[in-house]
């Protein structure tokens, strides 16, 4: 009699662990793309800040490069990102590029919003 109740408890634990792992996997599946997109936007900003500071690019040239990166990543921000959301600020010969956006995440039983504020700055050595 004892072996049957122990087996039942083992099956229940296995089901609970499987459900927890499935929930974690689903959450990661929903959240990871937003973080990866933000990483690529951040990297584009760092690269562009380095180039722009040396070559003295215009604000619009910088926005064009970053906007292209935003479109390539197909970021589903709420509200949708606009080209004007990309802020370019010159401080002497240095440049800072920034933006802010939110991504809604719907896990069916729980909804939340991720807020991202990628930014980069650089100034030429010369």
Question: In this predicted model, what pLDDT tens digit does every residue of 8-48 receive, in sequence order?
Answer: 678 888 899 999 999 999 999 999 999 999 999 999 999 99
Q: CA 94 to CA 60: how far, in whole Å?
A: 16
Residue where the block lists tokens 């807020």? 115
Residue where the block lists tokens 């500071």? 53
Q: What is the pTM of this model?
A: 0.79
Please provide the distance, in angstroms rounded to a whole number, between the alpha carbons at the two ends of the chain. 83
Write b or e for each residue in 70-105: b if 16 or more Cβ atoms lie within 10 A of its Cβ, otherwise e: beebebebeeebeeebbebeeeeeebbbbbebebee
Q: Render pLDDT for 42-85 as a digit per residue (tens, 0 to 9).
A: 999 999 998 888 888 899 999 999 999 999 988 888 899 999 99
Contacts of 52 (CB under 8 A, 6+ apart): 61, 62, 95, 97, 122
Residue where the block lists tokens 């719907």? 106
Residue 119 burial (10 A CB sphere; 0-12, 13-18, 19+): middle
């Amino acid at each position: 009699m004892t072996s049957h109740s122990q087996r039942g408890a083992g099956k229940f634990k296995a089901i609970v662990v499987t459900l927890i792992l499935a929930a974690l996997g689903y959450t990661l599946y929903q959240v990871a793309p937003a973080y990866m997109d933000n990483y690529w936007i951040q990297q584009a900003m760092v690269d562009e800040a380095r180039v722009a500071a040396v070559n003295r690019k215009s604000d619009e040239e910088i926005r064009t490069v970053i906007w292209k990166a935003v479109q390539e990543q197909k970021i589903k921000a709420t509200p949708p990102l606009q080209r004007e959301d990309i802020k370019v600020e010159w401080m002497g010969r240095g440049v800072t590029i920034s933006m802010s956006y939110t991504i809604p995440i719907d896990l069916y039983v729980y909804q939340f919003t991720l807020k991202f504020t990628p930014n980069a700055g650089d100034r030429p050595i010369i």
